[in-house]
Chains A and B, each alone.
Chain A
Amino acid sequence: MFSKPKPALASVLLAVLALAGCASEPDPTTVTVVTHGSFAIPDDVVASFERDTGLTIDFVAAGESGSLVNELILTQDRPLGDAVYGIDLASASQAVNAGLFTVYVSDQSAAKDAAEYAIPDSGSLTAIDYSDVCINVDHRWFDDRGIPEPVTLDDLASGTYRGLLSVTNPATSATGLSFLLATVAAYGDNWDDYWADLRANDVRVVASWSDAYYTDFSGPSSGGSYPLVLSYASSPPFEVGDDGVAPTGALLDTCFRSVEYAGVLKGATNPEGAGKVIDWMLSDEFQAALPDSMYVYPVSTRVEVPEAWVRYAPLSDQPWTLDPTTIAHDRDDLLREWAEIVIG
């Protein structure tokens, strides 16, 4: 009925049909890896996988981290890909219980190192990397005022540090969940008392990591007024200037160690290729690229971490951690109770 818009419409329709028309058969030369939204690895590392295996690798991101498992569960009937990378400790058990994976055990030599972080009774997830979520401290803020820096979780709840700490809501932020788990690991059933103390000590709660770090933190890249914020053990090197001085640091007694896993998805069209992806992720090349590309520590003891990390991002000797089964069991209740205690 319209004369003029027709050519435009026709071409749009054609374009849609052209794209839609690409019928896709199961393709044994392609392997699809589902990741979280912040996945990144250098091109040459990807290229060497493709060269060694003759496979083309295709990455798809299913939303931001924390929701990856939920999205995999929702798409279980027609999985989003062949392999998945980026399942974290907090949701690993839930993912395994949902029957998302087929068992795959890598024969790479780093597999021994990975086994140390394995989920109990399950060969379906392979640990690839880990990181410590810790309270970060602005050294200069405390130096300027001559106040000693806090050290332990207990210190954070003491009057000296009233109104100085900003953390994220565990329901809206994966970092926040890690910190909540650290307090559960440290205080057991009394974790709720600790949070009531933190609340009484004017802890600030924000929605996401970037709100805490980029709006609240008094460190150099934000200019806020909180000298203590929740971040990672790997954050301080980012703040080191040309003078080689680290203006911030991590409180190593407050850290929760989280692990990221990879697995072969049940219903994969190319399960064999998916296994090769897991092997590749344990390879020295991939493991060595992890710190600089995704700011996590490799599980493999065969590769070196960057010089700056050794100096400015030391890991906690005794990080808090929790058994994944316990986390899977308690998580929802913890989150609801936490909300009542802290922001209710």
Chain B
Amino acid sequence: MTATTSSGSGRRSLSDDPVTRAIAQAHSPRVSRLGALALPIAFLGLFFLWPVGTLLWRGLSDGSGEAFTSGRTWTALGTTVTLALAGTVGSVLLGLGAAWALYRITWRGQAVARALVTVPFVLPTVVVAVAFGALLRPSGLLGFLGLDQGIVPIVAALVFFNVSVVTRIVGGTWASLDPGTTIAARTLGATRWQAFRHITLPALGPGLAAAAAIVFLFCSTSFGIVLILGGTRTNTLETEIWLEVKQFLDLRVAASLALLQVAIVALTLAVASWAQTHRERALRRTRVDGTRAATRSDLRLAVLVLAPTALLLGLPLVGLIERSMRTRSGWGFSNYAALLTTPERSNLPVPVWRAAVTSLEAATIAAIVAFSLGLLLAAAITRARRARILNAIAMLPLGVSSVIVGLGILVTLYRPLPGGLDLGDPRLLVPAAQAIVALPLVVRSLVPTLRSISPDLRAAASTLGASPRRVWWLVDWPLIRRPTGVALGLAFAVSLGEFGATSFVARPDHPTLPTAIYRLLSHPGIENVGTAFAACVLLAFITAAVMMVTERWRGKEVTEW
């Protein structure tokens, strides 16, 4: 065990001392703080706030908010919240168990399991929907359940997508909890459950709140899953926005609905931030490497808690692989061979591997941009007085319809601006759109850790004469190196799988992997559907590989200390 920081409890905090505070403040001048904020704010402003704001403004200036009086809107709002709540509860329940089994205890082959759990997160909705649909259709493996085209498949798919968000974020917190208190409680006669309920759970609070907030926002803007698995019978705010824009070109209604979405974001963040500050103290404790080798009884419990997750994640994935191997002449790998050539009877103009390269390039840039800007934002959020507003702005992209973002970009950035500035290049727009979607995840994975760093440490370093840079480098950075792996990995994964906003900005002759899959699936023929599914498996494989690399990186950091 390697204790990194500690602040004695009960003792008067050093940061309360006015002198120390004054010194600390003198060493972090406002100017540099603002400078560090300028970059992420400019990026968000240019590629998100401006396009979205322009579109909303156009919609709202059209007339009055008629949408709010329509019964359909309120039904959609109710369905949105219900589905998102159910999806969040499901993801948290499954994800919590998986976080323990995959991050708190250690066992052989764990890295692979961790990587596999993340795979669903990046799979294109259209393919997941086909895989779930194939399971649930009347003739499918689970057809006897009679759940086809209802609420249950939608919630199951939402959990399928989001369980990894909870696992990764909560797992990170869990791995660094001091097991001492739990051991003490157990020694004093507490049952495993009691120890978990009264000691571990409160300590996981901030991470859990952060994860739940993200999942809730993801679920509330889920589009393809709701539309496809609900058989177009289930209407949420997101599907209504899409319909109003795509079909009826009613920007006014779409904009009002989008504002409702923004309200949901604000409310979610308020609840999450309440939960976080409520629990904040819990995290300001010794941060250690709290992982331990699994005992026999641990393994038994691990099998038990992982079983439902494995089933939920495994069945559609197996179905996906099965589909990728179906060929005209029975089973085989010809669909995988087809990834290397330009498909003959499809309208995909490039081989799938080319689309994969395009995706990898874009996702790499997007992940680096999202990570760098996210780090600056997270640092600012941790220290700024108006942290909540900053936090809310950073989270907005999770809660705003990708149709609105995509259309906003079309309206504002696609053509050269009046000054001759041309941002319409897809080499720029595709990673930019993806970075916008990934940014909130980065911020969310870094903020809890940055917050947990005791101000005393920074104050002490300042008092001893360290410049703000040095304080950051010596105090903050060593502690956030670990979550960096999580944040970069998630950013890369989400960029790789992004379809909604990307589909507006990717050029037809330079498709990304998800847009290529979509195109393959839009033409008949067993070769097309087979290649689409093989491409999906490729996407899953790349994701798993990237996740394993970031895992390994993370692992090393622990031993370095």
Contacts and interface: CB of A to CB of B under 8 A. Distances in A.
Contact of B469 (A3, A39, A75): A3
B507 A211 contact: no
A235 B528 CA distance: 12
B347 A214 contact: no
B368 A23 contact: no
Given A1-B33, A332-B248, A38 B137 contact: no
A221 B36 contact: no
Interface string B336-377: 000000000101110000000000000001001100100110
Contacts of A213: 524
Contacts of B523: 38, 238, 295
B422 A24 contact: yes
A59 interface: yes
B249 interface: yes
Interface stretch (A5-13, A123-131, A254-262, A322-330): A5-13
B415 A2 contact: no
A210 interface: yes
A62 interface: yes
Contacts of A5: 372, 375
B245 A67 contact: yes
Contact of B231 (A24, A66, A206, A242): A206
A231 B248 CA distance: 24
B526 A59 contact: no
B30 to A, nearest CB: 11
A232 B524 CA distance: 9
Contact of B348 (A22, A23, A40, A71): A40
Contacts of A206: 228, 231-232
B144 interface: no
A62 B506 CA distance: 9
B519 A38 contact: yes
A76 B349 CA distance: 28
A61 B126 contact: no
Nearest to A58: B507
B410 A74 contact: yes
B529 interface: yes
B138 A19 contact: no
Contact of A20 (B233, B365, B422): B422
Nearest to A344: B233
A25 B472 CA distance: 45
Given A1-B33, A80-B415, A242 B328 contact: yes
B246 A238 contact: no
A224 B232 contact: no
B245 A207 contact: no
Contacts of A145: none
A38 B507 CA distance: 10
A28 interface: no
A216 B138 CA distance: 9
A8 B368 contact: yes
Given A25-B420, A207-B227, A214 B39 contact: no
B559 interface: no
A332 to B, nearest CB: 6
A23 B411 contact: no
A91 B196 CA distance: 60
Interface in B85-144: 126, 129-130, 133-134, 137-139
A148 to B, nearest CB: 23
B74 interface: no
Contacts of A80: 410, 414-415
Interface in A188-229: 204-211, 213-216, 220-225
Contacts of A204: 231
Interface in B34-75: 35-36, 39, 43
Given A172-B243, A332-B248, A343-B232, A215 B509 contact: no
Contacts of A220: 328, 526
Interface in B465-500: 468-470, 472-473, 477
Nearest to B421: A20
B232 A205 contact: yes
Nearest to A236: B524
Interface in B268-304: none
Given A59-B509, A205-B231, A207-B228, A22 B425 contact: yes
Interface in A69-83: 70-71, 73-75, 78-80
Interface string A240-265: 01100000000000000000000000
A250 B271 CA distance: 55
A337 interface: no
A100 interface: no
A67 B251 CA distance: 13
B347 A2 contact: no
A241 B504 CA distance: 36
A2 B469 contact: yes
Contacts of A147: none
A159 interface: no
A238 B233 contact: no
Given A211-B228, A343-B232, A293 B39 contact: no
Nearest 7 A/B pairs, CB to CB: A238-B525, A40-B347, A221-B526, A225-B139, A23-B420, A61-B508, A215-B133
9 contacts: A2-B379, A9-B372, A23-B421, A24-B422, A39-B508, A214-B521, A238-B345, A332-B248, A343-B232
Given A61-B506, A225-B138, A332-B247, 20 more contacts: A1-B36, A1-B469, A2-B36, A2-B472, A2-B473, A5-B375, A24-B416, A38-B523, A59-B508, A60-B508, A63-B503, A74-B407, A204-B231, A205-B231, A205-B232, A210-B522, A211-B133, A224-B137, A225-B139, A231-B524
Interface of A: 1-5, 8-9, 12-13, 15-16, 19-25, 35, 37-40, 43, 59-64, 66-67, 70-71, 73-75, 78-80, 169, 171-172, 204-211, 213-216, 220-225, 231-232, 235, 238-239, 241-242, 292-295, 332, 335, 343
